[in-house]
Structure 1
Amino acid sequence: MVSRRSFLHQSWVSPLFLFVVVVALAASSADGSRTPRVPCYFIFGDSLYDSGNNNNLNTLAKVNYSPYGIDLPAGPTGRFSNGQTTADAIAIDFFFFFGYEGEILGFKDFIPPFASNPDDRQILVGVNYASGSAGILVESGKQGGDNVDLSQQLRNHEVTVSRIVEILGSKVAAFEYLGQCLYICNSGNNDYINNYILPQSTAIRNQYNPDQFAALLITQYSAQINRLYELGARKVALAGISNIGCTPSLIATLGTNGAPCVNSVNQLVVPFNTRLKSLISQLKLSYPDAKFAYLDSVRVGTLVGAVFRFAAFRIRATPCCQVSTVTGLCLPNTVPCSRRPSYLFWDAFHPTELANQLAAPLFFPAIQRIL
């Protein structure tokens, strides 16, 4: 029997084996009879995790319309996918393989977005603060309208923490409770996609070379994560930036010179991931009473792509829906592709639900080590 700690973390696991192991994830979720691994789950980041925080903002980066959410019972909710995000799948999904059951967190329901004004019962289970187009820097993504940048997400979390203090009766009780929760953040993508590599961003590129820009981001990110610790977080998972040069939008815009992806863009974010790993090492030393994990988005993204290539369906790297040439998002009320499991990307930037569901258990070993 493979242990929970080692499952999906072995170097010998082949893409085909991974597909066999996690394919059940696409059709299954926790049945509510399990006790969640943690009492609450707080989510920060960008459109990869957003579950509706942008719905009422004045922005192009919102997707509370069809065909988004076509595979969710609730329909369009503001998720930038046809169904679940990776953060959703981490919350509720589990995988099954020859008698081995490996739940992720085991929650019965999705974590509500902050913008939905969750009630006292809901916030004790967790809140999703993620916002489409948002980044570590305040200015990132603002060319398309409003978003909730990471610093504002933390201020929103301060409101939640204050409410939990009131609910539980004291700051001591609240922080003891919050210290048992999982905090996950996926940020930094838009600081590149919707800031540094924009054609109009020549000033910031002239001011900072790629390594200097990564240093700028990590300095700000460090202050933000330190603030999260001050607010009671003790189990924190930070996702690196994935190979954003493999998104349909950047491939169409920049070209690949015959390569599968825009390699120059993928190399651009390497300094950020390297510095993020160092930051996590520093945080572990600074806060021995807390646990921090690095979620290797490049490795997981590569494995998910390999699963698609080895699976029985044809792999498509083009969007599943008709996309806007301005935003790269699905055009409202259009009919998407019918064979969604054969598409890695839902629109020009975001993965399909199946890709997200396959990614979730691959992040599981790193998450489990801090629970």
Structure 2
Amino acid sequence: MDKSFKLSLLISSFIIVMANNADALVPALYVFGDSGVDAGNNNFLKTPAKADKWPYGIDLNNNTRGRFTNGKNAADFIAMLLNLPMPPPYLSLSEVERSRLITGINYGSGSCGILNTTRAGECLSLGKQIEYFTSTATTDLPKAIKRPPKLRRHLAKSMYLVLIGSNDYNNMVNNGVRNKFTPQDFAQYLVEEMTNHIKKLYDVGARKFLVSTFASCEPKTYVPESCESNYYTEKLVDRLQELQANLFGSLFTIYDGRKLFARIHENPKQFGITYLDVPCCEDASIVCANRSEHTTFDKLGHPTEAIYKIVALDCFYGSTCLPLSLSQLANAPSFLPLGN
């Protein structure tokens, strides 16, 4: 492993370990997405898309199931970098717990997407996730944050991760919707749907957003022009710029991991990686011992904890998230709704 990168990992590990002893950079982290951020919501749903059995979670107390990886996912690392607890899955919380929790919740659900029709069995579509968040903001949080001005400040200063969309390009779970459009028209359709979802979050009080793009091509290629989803990326970037100009006080930054993953594939040793796109766990009864040296954990292509950590750190301090790093987004001034 490159010495400078090893040092940066040691430093970042120290920062993460110290997170619980520092003041949070934002009041809360609210997470929306698919299996890349699901922390266990699918455990409570009738779906084949589950991560509720060993070896999932083997490096997270070896007893915490529900994440589609061996340990923490990107949302977990981002929470820790913000000096917040890892947001628990919404469906795991009782009504009493929901009414007391003010540091964030994870609504992510594996196999779901931007479209309500994208799913494998039961899962929480982005629309359903936002419906649950709306209940959090209008019913649960007011029980813990009783003064309306303080609640509005809480919502405006919190961070919202919207990391979803790859399943809408997955022919196994999009139920044929993608095939009804040209690539350009499908991308436009997804962007319109995403716009509607973001506006709903904004109307409830959200202001600071991280929204993801994605690549639908195989991980080992990462050639931008070979991915249909680049149409979506281009249209999404333009639309988020429009939204920021028109939605007072909103701030958007975009996660685009294509360049980072290209760097990992060009020089894996720099990142401590030995096995590119070789699943650590191809058989449910066997798991590799050197998990941090793999990019991929399972045969479905879900990343290892090591990759999620690299992504989170580069998004927080580097250039994977633009135009603002997550650190900059967290520290940016928050503007309350007009009249407050």
TM-score interval, normalised by the smaller of the two chains? 0.7 to 0.9
TM-superposed CA distance for 1:262, in Å, is 7.6
In the other structure, the counterpart of 2:229 is: 269
1:171 to partner: Cα distance: 3.7
AA aligned to 1:341 is S
Q: In the TM superposition, what is the alpha-carbon distance from 1:299 to its structure 2 partner?
A: 2.4
2:126 paired residue number = 150
SS at match of 2:17: coil
Mapped pair 1:127 → 2:105: yes
Give the partner amino acid of 1:157.
F
Counterpart Cα distance in 1 of 2:295 and 2:228? 23
Q: Which TM-score applies when normalising by structure 2?
A: 0.85
Secondary structure at the aligned position of 1:317 is classed as coil
Task: Please say if residues 246 and 261 of structure 1, whose CA atoms lie closer than 8 Å, have aligned partners that are also in contact.
Answer: yes
Name the counterpart of 1:186.
163
Corresponding residue of 2:42: 54
Change in CA separation of 1:362 and 1:16 when aligned onto 2, cut-off 3 Å: farther
Map 1:164-175 to 2 at 5 A: 164-175=141-152
Q: 2:190 aligns with which of 217, 231, 241?
A: 217
How far does residue 266 in structure 1 lie from its aligned partner after superposition?
Answer: 4.8
Deviation at 1:110, TM superposition (A): 1.3
Aligned residue number for residue 30 of structure 1: 17
**More displaced stretch, 50-59 vs 166-175:** 166-175
Question: Residues 132 and 195 from structure 1, CA distance in 2 versus in 1: closer, same or farther, beyond 3 angstroms?
Answer: same
* Cα distance between partner residues in 1 of 2:71 and 2:36: 12
Task: Indicate whether 1:335 and 2:266 are aligned.
Answer: no
Residue number in structure 2 paired with 1:246: 218
Give the deviation of 1:20 after TM superposition: 4.2
- Residue-pair matches, total: 317
Q: Is the 8 A contact 1:67 1:76 kept in 2?
A: no
CA contact (8 A) 2:183 2:228 kept: yes
* Closer/same/farther in 2, CA of residues 194 and 161 from structure 1, 3 Å limit: farther
Shift of 1:121: 6.9
Name the CA distance, whole Å, in 2 between partners of 1:25 and 1:246. 29
Q: Give the Å deviation of 1:169.
A: 2.1
Deviation at 1:116, TM superposition (A): 1.1
2:309 maps to 357
Q: Distance in 2 between matches of 1:16 and 1:210?
A: 43
Displacement of 1:166: 3.0
Compared CA separation, residues 178 and 246, structure 1 to 2 (3 A): same
Counterpart AA for 2:69:
S
Q: Which moved more, 1:221-230 or 1:275-284?
A: 275-284
Q: TM-score with structure 1 length normalisation?
A: 0.79
Residue 228 to residue 294, structure 1, CA distance change in 2 (3 Å): same
SS at match of 2:217: helix
1:72–1:83 contact (8 Å) kept in structure 2: yes
Does 2:72 match 1:84?
A: yes
Supply the AA of the counterpart residue of 1:290.
Answer: S
- 2:328 maps to which residue? 369
Closer, same or farther: CA 307–53 of 1 in aligned 2, 3 Å: farther
Whether the aligned pair in 1 keeps the contact of 2:38 and 2:110 (CA below 8 Å) is yes
| 8 A contact 1:41–1:127 mirrored in 2 | yes
Q: Deviations over 1:248-275 (max 9, x none)?
A: xxxxxxxxxxxx4385995211011111
1:130–1:136 distance in 2 versus 1, CA, 3 Å: same
Counterpart of 1:8 in structure 2 is: none
Give SS of 1:161's match: helix
Instruction: Verify the 8 A CA contact 1:48 1:132 in the aligned structure 2.
Output: yes
Shift of 1:277: 0.7
For 2:170, the aligned partner's letter is: I
Tell me how far 1:184 sits from its aligned partner: 0.7
- The verdict on how the C-alpha distance between 1:262 and 1:368 changes in structure 2, with shifts beyond 3 A counting, is closer
Encode CA deviations 1:118-143: one digit per residue, 9 max, x unaligned: 615753000000000010001112xx
State the Cα distance separating 1:89 from its structure 2 match: 0.7
Note the C-alpha offset of 1:291: 1.1
Change (3 A) 1:289 1:345: same
> Does 1:106 find its partner at 2:83?
yes
Identity percentage over the alignment?
26
**Structure 1: gaps of 5 or more residues:** 1-14, 93-103, 248-259, 324-330
Tell me if 1:229 matches 2:202: yes
SS in 1 for 2:162: strand
Change (3 A) 1:281 1:262: closer
Higher relative contact order (CA 8 A, sep 6+): 1
1:159 is displaced (CA, Å) by 1.1
Rounded to whole Å, the distance in 2 between the matches of 1:293 and 1:313 is 28
Q: In the TM superposition, what whole-angstrom CA distance separates every residue of 1:212-269 from its partner, at most 9, and x where no partner exists?
A: 100000000000000000111011111111x34234xxxxxxxxxxxx4385995211
Deviations 1:145-198, CA, capped at 9 Å, x for gaps: 1110000000000111121123222443322211110111101110012468x7
CA contact under 8 A between 1:133 and 1:140: conserved in structure 2? yes
Displacement after TM superposition at 1:367 (Å): 1.3
